[in-house]
Amino acid sequence: MENKKKLSDLPMNKLGLGGAFNNYFFNKRGQQQSDVITLAEFFALNQSPRANKETFICWRTKEIKEKFLRFRGFKKESVSFQKLKIFLLKNKFTHEDWVLLLPKIKTSKGLIYDLSLLDKEVLLSLPYHKVTETKLNCHPARRICDCLNRSYDDQFILVKDILCLTNEQVKLLPGYVEKTLINIQRRFKKHGLTDEDGPFMKINFSSVRSKDDYVNELIAIKGFSKKEAVLAVNFGIRAGWISV
C-alpha cells in the first residue's frame, strides 16, 4: 500500500517507463517539470472505459497541452499503454485504483470492460456515454440532453442521471430516440444494474409507444399525411428502427 502511494505521487515521466512514454507527458523544449501530472492525477483525468482509439488526457491545463503536448496523442491501443498497464499490475494496482485495469468481457460488438466488478457508487458516477458507447453528438443523445435540461456537449451526464429518467419523460421524446434508450438500458443491465437502481431500468420499452403513437407523431411534428405516416412507420418496423 505504501509503495502504491509513493508511485501515485510520482510525475508520469518519472515512472521509469522509457523516453517514448515520457514524451506523452513532458516536452524537454521549455516545459517545466512541475507542469507534469502525477500518476494519481492521470487516473482521475482518465476514468473512461471506452474504445481503444480514445486518447488519454496527459496535461493539467489546456494551456500546457497547446504549448507543449499538442501533437502527442497517448492512446489505449498503443504499446506505451500496455507498458503502463503491466507496470501497474506488477505494483499491485487494481481496478479499484483505476477503472481501466478492469478485465474485459466478450460481447457481440467486441471486448468491453466488465464494469459489473466496480463498486456501485463508482459505476453510477461515470459519464453514461463512456459506459454505453453512446456518441454525444448523435440526434438521440441530444434529445436525451434536452430531457435532462443539459447542454449537448455536456461530458458529465452520469449513469445515475440517466437512471432517474421516468417512463413519463421517455414518452415525451421523439420515437427515433427509443432504440438508443434500449441500447443504453441493455448495456446498463450487462454491467449489473437492475430495476432497483432507478425508474429508467423499470421501463418496458415495448409498451412505451404503440404503432399509432408513431403515426400520430409523424403527422403532428413532420406534417405527414396519415397514409405517408403509416407507410413510414411500417418501413421503420421492418427495418428494425422502431420497436412496437
Task: Give the chain's end-to-end CA distance (angstroms, integer).
Answer: 54
**How do residues 66-113 score in pLDDT, each as one tens digit?**
999 988 889 888 899 999 999 999 999 999 899 899 988 777 667 778
DSSP character at residue 104: E
**How do residues 149-177 score in pLDDT, each as one tens digit?**
988 777 778 999 999 999 999 988 887 78
Distance, CA of 39 to CA of 10 (rounded, Å):
6
74 or 179, which is more confident: 74
97 or 221, which is more confident: 97
Q: Name the band, by pLDDT with cuts 50, 70 and 90, for residue 190.
A: confident
Distance, CA of 164 to CA of 198 (rounded, Å):
6
Type of residue numbered 203: I
